[in-house]
């Protein structure tokens, strides 16, 4: 009888441990999948790639960011009416590091991207370019 009780106890113990291990493994796999999804989705959200634009009466700025490089155009509008002219400054194949934009030649920081905005400066005045959706 004692042997039968021991056998039943061992069987129940084994069965209980099997269920516990199965449940823990199942939760671990779900947790791992959720973590992978969060990392993938956060990488999609964190990308700064895109087109950022500012247009007003004095200036037109456009910056395109793709992978680890950026290109941009700054057009300053001088004068008014029919007597205006545009001074055009171009940046091509410059570099990004994290959320920051740099001029490649001297590694001078040009601007920073936060959310859907690019902050940079013209002269000593800070300007904010908005990201547009294509």
Rg value, the chain, Cα: 29
Residue-level pLDDT at 13: 47
Partnered with residue 122 across adjacent β-strands are 125
Return the domain boundaries, the chain.
1-46, 50-132
Residue pair 91/70 in contact by the 8 Å Cβ criterion: yes
Of 115, 94, 107, residue with least CA distance to 48: 115
| pLDDT tens column, 90-123 | 888 899 999 999 999 889 999 999 989 999 988 7
pLDDT confidence bin for 88, thresholds 50/70/90? confident
Round to whole Å and give the CA distance between 41 and 28. 20
Q: What is the DSSP string of 11-36?
A: HHHHHHHHHHHHHHHHHHHHHHHHHH
**pTM of the entire predicted model:** 0.61
CATH code of 50-132, in short, is 2.40.128
| pLDDT tens column, 11-59 | 544 555 556 555 555 555 555 555 555 544 544 457 899 999 999 888 8
- Tell me which of 90 and 87 has the higher pLDDT: 90
- DSSP SS3 for 53: strand
């Amino acid at each position: 009888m004692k042997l039968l009780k021991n056998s039943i106890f061992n069987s129940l113990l084994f069965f209980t441990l099997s269920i516990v291990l199965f449940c823990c493994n199942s939760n671990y796999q779900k947790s791992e999948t959720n973590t992978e999804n969060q990392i993938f989705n956060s990488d999609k959200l964190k990308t700064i790639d895109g087109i950022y634009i500012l247009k007003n009466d004095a200036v037109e700025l456009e910056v395109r960011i793709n992978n680890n490089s950026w290109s941009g155009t700054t057009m300053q509008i001088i004068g008014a009416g029919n007597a205006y002219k545009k001074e055009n400054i171009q940046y091509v194949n410059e570099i990004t590091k994290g959320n920051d934009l740099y001029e490649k030649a001297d590694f001078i920081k040009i601007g920073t991207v936060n959310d859907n905005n690019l902050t940079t400066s013209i002269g000593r005045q800070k300007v904010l370019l908005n990201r547009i959706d294509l």
